[in-house]
């Protein structure tokens, strides 16, 4: 069905001035072929990520130079780990990340037990965290242990666009072992997520806090659809547009959910337009003021 819904002083000195320090020159190019190589990228104008494996109890934070260009030419595989997550974090301002269709492999099958983050084997989450502004495009988050991508840019660093990303947790359907495998968990301002595909067993997108967020031309399959929340105390969501997305074979099409213990918070100015929902097993649209965390 086609769903369109709108919710509503200068100090003078006589001493000779010292010359200003010159800015640190950026290296022309850097290669990340191990976790150690990712340690200091702050002066790299371009970064190439090649194939490597991240060992147990190791996480990676890539702190990128302003305006850096990052490309992937190989797959990054994360071994089964006791680290808590995020396993991979991106930081930077106005960066341009192109995955070239390459994969971050989370080895989710080593963790999946049908319980997600509610019990059983500890599962690092989120798998990937984006704290940067700029553009992230064309990569695969594959078999994530639990929540796939947390989108949480630092404040006042500019807009962020995520495009052409594939969250592939389809294998978690086997035996209903995948659980809490959210595609995108979002907190922030001026965020666009477009032309992405999510196959999973939980929210395709969950917007928990923020404003000016656009989710458009995406495909969601097998999970819980497009969500706002769970809204907790102090969470405010405003200025969200869900436009021309396709949600199929999911528990819900779209929903707004709030935690039962929440005492303050609000959801305002949300627009749904031109979305297609099919095969919803529970509700096409669900709005609730109380939800038990699941």
Catalytic positions:
224
Please enumerate in sequence order all residues whose Cβ is within 8 A of that of 6, keeping only pairs 6 or more positions apart, or say none: 270, 271, 272, 273
The SS3 of residue 289 is coil
CA distance 219 to 276: 10
CA distance 4 to 27: 50
Q: DSSP string spanning 19-35?
A: PPPPPPPPBS-EEE-ST
User: What number of other Cβ atoms are within 10 A of residue 271's Cβ?
Assistant: 15
Residues 46, 68 contacting (CB under 8 angstroms): yes
Residues 204, 250 contacting (CB under 8 angstroms): yes
C-alpha 287, offset from chain centre? 24
Residue with tokens 């969470």: 235
Q: DSSP string spanning 11-80?
A: ----SPPPPPPPPPPPBS-EEE-STGGGS-BTTBSEEEE--EEEPTT--EEEEBPTT-EEEE-S-EEEPP
Residues 206, 258 contacting (CB under 8 angstroms): no
The vertex-28 CA angle with 25 and 34, nearest 5°, equals 110
């Amino acid at each position: 069905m086609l769903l369109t819904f709108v919710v509503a002083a200068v100090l003078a000195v006589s001493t000779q001035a010292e010359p200003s320090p010159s800015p640190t020159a950026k290296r022309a190019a850097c290669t990340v072929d191990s976790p150690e190589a990712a340690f200091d990228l702050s002066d790299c104008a371009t970064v190439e990520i090649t194939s490597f494996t991240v060992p147990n109890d190791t996480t990676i934070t890539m702190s990128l130079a302003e305006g850096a260009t990052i490309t992937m030419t190989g797959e990054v595989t994360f071994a089964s780990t006791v680290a808590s997550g995020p396993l991979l974090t991106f930081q930077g301002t106005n960066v341009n990340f192109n995955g070239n269709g390459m994969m971050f492999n989370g080895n989710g099958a080593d963790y999946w037990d049908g319980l997600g983050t509610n019990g059983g084997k500890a599962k690092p989450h989120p798998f990937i965290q984006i704290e940067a502004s700029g553009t992230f495009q064309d990569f695969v988050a594959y078999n994530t242990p639990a929540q796939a991508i947390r989108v949480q840019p630092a404040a006042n660093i500019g807009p962020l666009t995520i495009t052409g990303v594939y969250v592939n947790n389809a294998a978690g359907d086997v035996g209903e072992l995948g659980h809490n495998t959210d595609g995108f968990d979002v907190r922030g301002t001026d965020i666009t997520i477009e032309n992405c595909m999510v196959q999973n067993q939980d929210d395709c997108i969950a917007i928990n806090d923020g404003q000016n967020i656009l989710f458009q031309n995406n495909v969601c399959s097998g999970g819980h659809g497009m969500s706002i929340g769970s809204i907790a105390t102090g969470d405010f969501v405003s200025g969200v547009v869900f436009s021309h997305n396709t949600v199929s074979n999911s528990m819900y099409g779209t929903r707004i959910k709030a935690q039962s213990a929440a005492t303050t918070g609000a959801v305002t100015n949300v627009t749904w337009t031109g979305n297609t929902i099919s095969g919803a097993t529970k509700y096409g649209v669900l709005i609730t003021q109380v939800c038990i965390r699941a």
